[in-house]
């Protein structure tokens, strides 16, 4: 991205924030949906922990913080790129969009970034307040943990976005992506530890999942946040997270050039 | 130097050949037979700066494919397109900066944004100088009345309004070449008029080279001095509209109404119809003018009324399409 084109991306980012702030109705729906999941999980954990001090070294307070934070994080991980690509393929505007002297997927990225910024204001803050009042105040265990969490969260954001972007390339070969989108969404929810942490899974399964990128979206940042691991234990995990970020970026770049070529050979 | 040079341009599409019925469906799962379609076969032509060229042909003739290849969206199977001397595939980013493209059936405006926001985004994408941007908008507003709709979300625009918006969007960065794929499709009379006026104006004021595909013969008549006709991916005609008319229909018909049933023959015109007091003559334009013919006939016999029939542009193009 050269400096001059940056202004275009910034403009996309800015207008997207303003547009997202204008759609009130979506926002209330989202908050309600997130709160339902959050409360259901919280009640579930409270019932499960009845009479138990700790499970797998985690006490009920930490588990509730985990739940609230997981709901807050899900706001950051909403992506619109799949739908955007789907629409432009259906309307047949991909080819003309690619004609502009600017990278189409970078535009989508900044749209999502703008969306996210608006959602942080509109969704994250209300969910934070409701969660803090009714369930648990999500305090990090330490300042250090919070910083590491933040670094991990940024990588998690990229892993999640690159996954979505790679997934969106499928749209160029399949016609109706809606069911697949649902499958992907729930698969990530399940495999990433956003609802049930890995440590409740059988060892063999969590060992496998630790090698896949999904746990590095929710579970790792959350583990850091509640202080599940010592710093020394965390570093190799952050290493794997970083590797996944780079690998998925590579895959995304590869697919992007393939799709561009395909569109250019077969027509939009 | 020519603004656009098209050299030995070829485009083949591969499409999967689907078998029929259950047997075919099963076969499709296993084998993947490909069928090759030759959309464009060996096109060659050049377009000079400041020309308005109509690119016409029946549906499926390869017009859109050619326009897509010229504008760099589509990779040719072989051959090349040079725009201002640069290959539109290899120097895509540079070439694209100097092109404006409008596809009548696909909008490049962002549906979620207001029209003005779409323009502003393009200003950033093409790095248009703020002052020049405002000047361009001003000029285009004069012709297309864009200010009335600039604050309307694109999704709420009518087809005609959207088309105007798309034209402005394509011209904001002052490209030297403008491709228009069916710009007047589905528009009402006013809409067509505004768009034709706009094309003429930018051609005259800015010297923009315009290439348009169309099925609307009014577009051709009003705008284009040069006509390129292709069919089955092959160039079949290339030249000024008048020349084409002269070549395909070098004759006119003169219909004469006399006072009675007597009629005369003329050495330079064929009397191909004679009934009651009406006589129809067909004459070659190069042999004799209509005025002369009328005069020479009236010297021999009194004439009550005359009508001159000429092949319409519709006829000409239909004849051209069917000519192999």
Contacts of B112 in chain A (CB under 8 A): 19
CATH number at residue B236: 3.40.50.300
Q: In chain A, what residues touch B101 (CB-CB under 8 Å)?
A: 96, 99
Boundary-marking domain end, from B245, B268, B294: B245
Q: Is this complex scored with an ipTM above 0.95?
A: no
Tally of CA atoms within 13 A in the half-sphere of B136 that contains its CB: 21
Q: Scanning the structure block, which residue is given the tokens 């016609």?
A: A175
Does one domain contain both B237 and B295? no
Q: Are residue B241 and residue B269 in the same domain, yes or no?
A: no
Q: What single string gives the DSSP state of each residue in chain A?
A: --HHHHHHHHHHHHHHHHHHHH-HHHHHHHHHHHHHHHHHHHHHHHHHTTT-SEETTEEHHHHHHHHHHHHHHHHHT---HHHHHHHHHHHT-HHHHHTSSS-HHHHHHHHHHHHHHHHIIIIIHHHHHHHHHHT-----S-HHHHHHHHHHHHHHHHHHHHHHHHHHGGGGT-S--HHHHHHHHHHHHHHTTSSS-GGGS-HHHHHHHHHSSGGGTTHHHHHHHHT-S-HHHHHHHHHHHHHHHHHHHHHHHHHHHHHHHHHHHH--
Minimal Cβ distance to B96: which of A4, A99, A266: A99
Q: Are A16 and A114 in contact (CB under 8 A)?
A: yes
* Tokens linked to B119: 């323009």
pLDDT category of residue B168 using cuts at 50, 70 and 90: very high
φ/ψ bin of B85: left (φ > 0), alpha (ψ from -120 to 50), beta (otherwise)? left
Angle, to 10 degrees, between the axis of helix B313-322 and the axis of helix B241-248? 70
Rg over CA atoms, chain A: 20
Which residue reads 């499958």 in tokens? A183
B2-16 pLDDT, tens per residue?
889 999 999 888 877
If one counts the domains in chain A, the total is: 1
Q: In this structure, are B200 and B108 located in the same domain?
A: yes
Looking at the structure, do residues B38 and B84 belong to the same domain, yes or no?
yes
User: How far off is chain A from B12, nearest CA to CA, in Å?
Assistant: 9
State whether B269 and B238 are in the same domain: no
Mean pLDDT, residues B317-322:
81
Smallest CA–CA distance, residue A155 to chain B, in Å, is: 28
- Retrieve residue A147's tokens: 């910083």
Q: CATH code at B285?
A: 3.30.70
| Stated pTM of the model | 0.83
Answer yes or no: do B169 and B295 share one domain.
no
- Of B228, B245, B262, which closes a domain? B245
- Torsion angles phi and psi, residue B287, rounded to 5: -80, -40
Per-residue DSSP letter, B155: G
Residues B95 and B234 in one domain: yes
**3-state SS class at B24:** helix
Residues B171 and B33 in one domain: yes
- Please list, residue by residue across B265-285, b when 16 or more beta carbons sit within 10 angstroms of its beta carbon and e when fewer do: ebeebeeeebeeebbbbebee
- In terms of domains, do B173 and B44 share one? yes
Q: A131 lies in which domain range?
A: 3-266
How confident is the model over A76-130, as pLDDT tens digits? 898 889 888 888 888 777 777 877 888 889 999 999 999 999 989 888 999 999 9
Residues of chain A in contact with residue B127, where contact means CB-CB under 8 angstroms, are: 4-5, 7
- A207 against B19, higher pLDDT: A207
What is the extent of the structural domain holding B219?
4-245
Read off the pLDDT of residues A131-178 as tens digits, 9 standing for 90 and up: 999 998 888 888 888 999 999 999 999 999 999 999 998 887 766 778
Contact A8 B71 (CB under 8 A): no
Are B189 and B258 found together in one domain? no
End-to-end CA distance of chain A: 25
SS3 content of chain B, % helix, strand, coil (to 5): 40, 30, 30
Banded pLDDT at B25 (limits 50, 70, 90): confident
Q: How many domains does chain B have?
A: 2
Q: Percent of chain A at pLDDT above 90?
A: 41
Backbone Cα Rg of chain B:
25
Q: Are B229 and B98 in a shared domain?
A: yes
- Residue B184: CA count within 13 A, CB half-sphere: 24
Contact: A95, B127; criterion CB under 8 Å: no
């Amino acid at each position: 991205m050269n400096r001059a084109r940056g202004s275009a991306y910034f403009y996309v980012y800015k207008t997207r924030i303003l547009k997202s702030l204008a759609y009130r109705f979506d926002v209330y729906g989202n908050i309600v949906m997130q709160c339902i999941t959050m409360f259901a999980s919280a009640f579930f954990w409270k019932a499960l922990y009845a009479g138990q001090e700790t499970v797998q070294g985690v006490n009920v307070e930490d588990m509730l913080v985990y739940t609230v934070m997981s709901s807050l994080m899900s706001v950051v991980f909403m992506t619109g790129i799949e739908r955007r690509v789907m629409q432009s393929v259906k309307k047949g505007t991909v080819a003309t969009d690619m004609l502009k002297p600017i990278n189409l997927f970078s535009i989508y990225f900044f749209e999502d970034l703008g969306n996210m910024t608006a959602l942080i204001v509109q969704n994250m803050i209300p969910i934070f307040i409701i969660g803090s009042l009714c369930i648990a105040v999500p305090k990090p265990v330490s300042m250090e943990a919070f910083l590491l969490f933040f670094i991990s969260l940024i990588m998690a954001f990229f892993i999640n976005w690159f996954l979505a972007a790679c997934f969106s390339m499928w749209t160029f070969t399949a016609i109706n992506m809606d069911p697949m989108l649902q499958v992907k969404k729930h698969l990530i929810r399940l495999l990433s530890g956003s609802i049930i942490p890995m440590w409740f899974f059988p060892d063999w399964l969590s060992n496998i999942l630790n090698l896949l990128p999904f746990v590095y979206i929710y579970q790792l940042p959350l583990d850091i946040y509640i202080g599940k691991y010592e710093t020394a234990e965390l570093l190799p995990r952050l290493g794997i997270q970083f590797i996944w970020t780079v690998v998925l970026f590579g895959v995304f770049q590869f697919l992007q050039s393939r799709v561009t070529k395909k569109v250019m050979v077969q027509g939009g | 130097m020519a603004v656009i040079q098209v050299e030995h341009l070829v485009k083949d599409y591969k499409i999967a050949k689907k078998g029929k019925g259950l047997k075919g469906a099963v076969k499709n799962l296993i084998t993947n037979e490909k069928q090759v379609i030759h959309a464009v076969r060996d096109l060659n032509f050049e377009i000079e700066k400041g020309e308005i060229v109509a690119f016409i042909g029946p549906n499926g003739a390869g017009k859109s494919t050619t326009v897509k290849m010229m504008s760099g969206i589509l990779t040719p199977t072989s051959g090349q397109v040079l725009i201002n001397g640069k290959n539109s595939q290899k120097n895509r980013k540079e070439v694209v900066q100097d092109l404006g493209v409008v596809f009548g059936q696909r909008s490049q405006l962002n549906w979620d944004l207001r029209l003005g926001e779409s323009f502003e985004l393009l200003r950033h994408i093409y790095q248009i100088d703020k002052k020049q941007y405002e000047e361009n908008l001003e000029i285009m507003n004069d012709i297309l009345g864009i200010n009335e709709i600039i604050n309307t979300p694109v999704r709420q625009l009518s087809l005609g309004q959207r088309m105007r918006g798309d034209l402005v969007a394509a011209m904001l960065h002052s490209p030297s070449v403008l491709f228009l794929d069916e710009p007047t499709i589905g528009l009402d009379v006013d809409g067509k008029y505004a768009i034709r006026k706009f094309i003429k104006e930018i051609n005259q004021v800015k010297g923009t080279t315009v290439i348009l595909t169309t099925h609307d013969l009014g577009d051709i008549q009003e705008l284009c001095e040069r006509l390129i006709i292709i069919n089955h991916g092959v160039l079949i005609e290339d030249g000024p509209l008048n020349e084409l008319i002269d070549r395909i229909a070098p004759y006119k018909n003169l219909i004469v109404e006399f006072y009675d049933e007597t009629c005369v023959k003329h050495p330079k015109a064929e009397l191909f119809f004679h009934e009651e007091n009406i006589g129809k003559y067909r004459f070659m334009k190069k042999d004799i003018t209509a005025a002369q013919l009328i005069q020479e006939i009236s010297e021999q016999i009194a004439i009550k009324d005359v009508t001159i029939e000429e092949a319409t542009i519709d006829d000409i193009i239909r004849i051209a399409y069917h000519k192999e």
